[in-house]
Structure 1
Amino acid sequence: MAALLLRHVGRHCLRAHLSPQLCIRVYLFGLSALLLPGNFESYFEFVKSLSLGPALIHTAKFALVFPLMYHSWNGIRHLMWDLGKGLKIAQLYQSGVVVLVLTVLSSVGLAAM
């Protein structure tokens, strides 16, 4: 009975986590597109005109992507907890290491794009 209740609650927690997050992201993207002058190409050309080195650009991209990737992977970890999985101490440490490894790998991959 408890497992069934946890699954039911976990599904609602999934909706509760993802819906506001998606709405906020769409809202902020739309708001920034309305308020900022110019378009994407003008900002891209501005960054190119600064003549920044590739190491600095990749480091900046990594710094921007890392928190987003950490939040995404750790959010999946929390959703698993909502379903009642991975709550033993050993599993908590393992999932923490997995989150950090996936965060670094996905951040490096996205920064290299």
Structure 2
Amino acid sequence: MAALLLRYAGRPCLRAHLSPRLCIRNAVPLGTTAKEEMEHFWNKNTNSNRPLSPHITIYSWSLPMAMSICHRASGIALSAGVSLFGLAALLLPGNFESHVELLKSLSLGPALIHTAKFALVSPLMYHTWNGIRHLTWDLGMGLKIPQLYQSGVVVLALTVLSSIGLAAM
């Protein structure tokens, strides 16, 4: 009931406020056209000598940024590798021993085998050590800029050393 009363009482008030005579009377001519506004905008940006894209000049590559990207890439590579290994175990004929014998029969040199093992284990080691680094950040430790760089170098050194150690097994 109250809604109907407001509707009928409000319509004449709304019509009075939106009459064409009221709109024309309060209309103000524009000072500039849209074309002039756009020219002013582009002239201002051109004269300020700022880059149009901040990603080109403002954001330079840093160690923490590169390590963050590599952490995500290693996570994707590890999940893809585990998925492919699982599919291969399901779909390929034979068992694990037969595949190991196949690799031994290829008579690959020790340098190639060591390099392949290093390439397989390094994403796992990097993701593990960098994950521990992220966990320390979650505890609120090591968040200052010098500490970010120090922990990044430590993660890279531990990755290389542990990958070499595991590849040597």
TM-score normalized with structure 1 length: 0.71
Q: Which runs of 5+ in 2 are unaligned?
A: 1-79
Deviations 1:57-95 (A, max 9, x none): 000000111111001100110111111110001110110
Between the two proteins, what is the percent identity of the paired residues? 83
Q: Which runs of 5+ in 1 are unaligned?
A: 1-23
Partner of 1:91: 147
**Shift in CA distance, 28/83, structure 1 to aligned 2, threshold 3 Å:** farther
Structure 2 CA distance, aligned partners of 1:54 and 1:28?
25
Q: How big is the alpha-carbon RMSD for the aligned residues of Structure 1 and Structure 2? A: 2.2
**Shift in CA distance, 25/48, structure 1 to aligned 2, threshold 3 Å:** closer
Give the helix-richer structure, 1 or 2: 1
**Shift in CA distance, 82/25, structure 1 to aligned 2, threshold 3 Å:** farther
4+ long deviations beyond 6 Å: 24-28
Deviations 1:32-56 (A, max 9, x none): 4322321111111101111100000
TM-score normalized with structure 2 length: 0.49
Partner of 1:7: none
Q: Among 118, 123, 148, which residue is 1:62 paired with?
A: 118
Tell which structure's C-alpha radius of gyration is larger. 2
State the 1:105 CA deviation: 0.6
Structure 2 CA distance, aligned partners of 1:35 and 1:107?
30
Partner of 2:93: 37
